[in-house]
Structure 1
Amino acid sequence: MSAIKDWDAYRAALRERGREFSALHPELVKAFTALSGAAAKAQHLDAKTRELIAVAITAITTCEGCMDAHVRKAKAAGATREEIAEALGVAVALSAGATFTHALHVLDAVGE
């Protein structure tokens, strides 16, 4: 299987750009880091479940940096390729459902 993207190179470049942005707007990056840290604290869900949810959401939001980070974290928490694929299936179904619902709104906008 060949990769579509070199994720290690992407991650390294993203981290470098993140350091640049942090130098330009340190308070924002500090706040984002605090928010991310607070969201990562497991209270009721185990780490693997939380990361599978995050992976599914990244497929919908199309944030490649988030995708990279949460796939790595999901694998570190013990998620298998099959579990990640199942979580992605939920994301695909929900995206289709959202599109279906919005299609109904479009039809409302068209009128009768």
Structure 2
Amino acid sequence: MSMLDWNNYRRQVVAGVGAIGKLAPDTVKGYATLSGAGAKTGHLDAKTRELIALGAAISLRCDGCITVHAAEAKKHGATEAEVAEALGAAISVNAGAALVYSTRAHEAFKEA
């Protein structure tokens, strides 16, 4: 059982971005420039960049980002185990952020 038809969803996202590109071409062009900037440095390989992007995608809760970066990670040779490790790192960072922000909530409560 699948939560979503990810391939169809990815096609819908790409089509939707294409439609926005026709209405606001500079916005989409700017995004594409920003998105491709990291690839030009050559410091990280494409698979590593996609694994990082996939971790960020779950942190941002963006299904569109998830479907695009999961497919790209697979295309660049990422294994299921590597994806699991990247997602584990993102889960850990999110838990850490919640812990840090808990100190803020605790302080706000004490000062209320």
Considering the TM-score relative to the shorter chain, is it more than 0.5? yes
1:1-112 matches, within 5 Å, as 2-111=1-110
Unaligned segments of structure 2, at least 5 residues: none
Return 102-111 or 34-43, whichever deviates more. Answer: 34-43
How many residues in Structure 1 have an aligned counterpart in Structure 2?
Answer: 111
Q: TM-score, normalised by structure 2?
A: 0.91
- CA distance change for structure 1 residues 67 and 40 in 2, over 3 Å: closer, same or farther? farther
**AA aligned opposite 2:8:** A
Q: Among all aligned residue pairs of Structure 1 and Structure 2, give the percentage whose two residues are the same amino acid.
A: 41
Q: State the alpha-carbon separation in 2 of the partners of residues 98 and 55 from structure 1.
A: 18
**AA aligned opposite 1:67:** I
Deviation of the 1:42 alpha carbon: 4.9
Unaligned segments of structure 1, at least 5 residues: none
- CA distance change for structure 1 residues 40 and 15 in 2, over 3 Å: closer, same or farther? same
Deviation of the 1:74 alpha carbon: 0.9
Greater than 4 Å deviation, 4+ residue runs? none
Q: TM-score, normalised by structure 1?
A: 0.91
